[in-house]
Amino acid sequence: MPTRPPSTPTLHGDAAQAFGSAVAETWKSFSGLSLPPKALAQLQGDYLKEATTLWNSALERLQAAPGDKSQPLPDRRFAGEDWAANPAAAYLAQLYLLNARTMMQLAESLEGDEKTRQRVRFAVQQWIDAASPSNFLALNPEALRKALETQGQSIAQGMQMLLKDLQQGHVSQTDTSVFEVGRNVATTEGAVVFENDLIQLIEYKPLTAKVHEKPFLFVPPCINKYYILDLQPDNSFIRYTVEQGHRTFVISWRNPDESLAHKTWDDYIEEGPIAAIRAVQAITGQKAFDMLGFCVGGTILATALAVLAARGEQPASSLTLLTTLLDFSHTGILDVFVDEASVQLREMTIGPDAPGGPKLLKGRELATTFSFLRPNDLVWNYVVGNYLKGESPPPFDLLYWNGDSTNLPGPMYCWYLRHTYLQDELKIPGRLTTCGEKIDLGKIKAPVFIYASREDHIVPWESAYKSTALLKGKKRFVLGASGHIAGVINPPAKGKRSHWVNDALPASAHDWLAGAKEVSGSWWPDWAAWVKPHAGKLVPAPKTYGGHGYKAIEPAPGRYVKQKA
């Protein structure tokens, strides 16, 4: 078996010493952080041992028979045959992964303020992901092979795509020319029956001869377009709800332009769900009915119901919250972006008192931020495919929706940022005043179905579970597999993933999970069975849209959802 040259240990030892010293000096620049010498020494020793093993393996490859390949690496960036067949590329990938692990272990070993540690970990991860050898043409054997096979055409195509993306201001994640809102996404049949400056209210055509007498109102997030709930007929949560016999209404938020830059959080509550509730009540004659909020739409809906509760009204027969935060004590990775200084900066630049008046938070900025929460999947994957290999990304409805970004009015965004993410006041009874009313979530009397996704990096499921302590009605909590979007959009017919159920609601989320039962397949049927008893008796389905003075304004999906940021 080949052995390393005599100088190898010294070379690796010097490199490890220099590496550790440089990192230790870097950490000193972060106020209040320190790296324990014992932890550093352990990491240095482990790094030296693993680097030596890699070097020995690389020497073995050089002496191996021609055509022998390394074992494919589990990391999908380096799993292709070109990486395994090229000894230099395989060694470089393995060394990169070793360095990445060591850097993250160093970040994890830091002692000091948790907020600062979290930011260091995030920054280190961003740097690690950006520095992957797969992101560079000269170091990516797959891209180099393709360039040779196409006689440079792949590089030329990649440059054309790069120029196009520079002009449009973002990395292309899908072929947007394939999709059109209202033609092949957001196609469930319906009509707009009410609108104001901020929303259009869509009523959907019944798909059953009879419907439940109590209608259903959906409040989707205002930071995205509503049609995540209505992408294609076979994965549309809206269509599924209509098929269950519910007379369904959905808010479509307007994509604000400069004329709406002054809108506040109070405006979004009063002109959003409260206005929609009034319209549904008038159209259907039902004072109370079922309601659902998704993500920040759930936060907005719960706030609106607390406002109405303070006014003596209980318009919700049931409340469904999907991946929603009401308790903001732990907001996951998004917490790295929020502190007093960053909120004040927003308030001074786009808030109500900004020089020259309030401004918009541009949708592209929000989209970029969310993409870099998962940079390998949503950024660098497309840098490699689009620019290094010259491959156009395939059409994908979810990524088309993901790129259809929305603006937010500065005053609304600043209020939300300060009073929820920064100061976590929504959960405190009487602390906040919205639409002239003191907010107390505990005064909402409706039974509640709370859904969270186990791998959600935007709304950690443990934080979503904390809503069970804030809402006083009868509650059911269900945990789904996968992430913030894929966990929610999981139609039963696909037979994918699983979910966990547990009728008990202990104080700890992890105690709940420990006693939960895993059920294969979608959580949608569980929700449909839960909501059915709250929906009232079956009555003949309406023949026309609207009613009682409300008429169809235009066909669904309406014009608000088609406005670009």
Cα angle 157-371-466, degrees, rounded to a multiple of 5: 160
Q: Is the dihedral of CA 225, 230, 232, 234 positive or negative?
A: positive
Instruction: Determine the Cα–Cα distance for residues 159 and 181; give it in Å rounded to an integer.
Output: 29
Residue with tokens 């008192």: 353
Within 10 angstroms of residue 215's Cβ, the number of other Cβ atoms is: 24
Cis peptide before 215 (omega within 30 of 0): no
Give Cα separations from 250 to 91, 154, 307, 473 (angstroms).
54, 44, 20, 24
Beta strands 554-555; 190-195: pairing state = antiparallel
Residues in Cβ contact with 101 at an 8 Å cutoff, skipping those fewer than 6 apart? none
Which residues sit opposite 554 in a β-bridge?
A: 192
Give Cα separations from 553 to 286, 521, 540, 541, 559 (angstroms).
22, 39, 23, 20, 10
Strands laid side by side in the 190-195 sheet: 517-520, 498-501, 475-480, 448-453, 316-322, 289-294, 216-219, 248-253, 199-204, 190-195, 554-555
User: Of all residues in the chain, what percent are helix, strand and coil, respectively (each to 5)?
Assistant: 50, 15, 40
Question: Among 227, 209, 210, which residue's Cα sits nearest to residue 218?
Answer: 227
Catalytic positions are: 295
Tell me if residue 547 falls in helix, strand or coil.
Answer: strand
Give Cα separations from 167 to 162, 360, 376, 395, 433 (angstroms).
9, 21, 23, 20, 43
* Run of H or E including 250: strand 248-253
Question: Among 70, 107, 108, which residue's Cα sits nearest to residue 92?
Answer: 70
Q: How far is CA 513 from the centre of its chain?
A: 22
Which residues sit opposite 540 in a β-bridge?
A: 210
Decide if 541 contacts 247 (C-beta within 8 A). yes
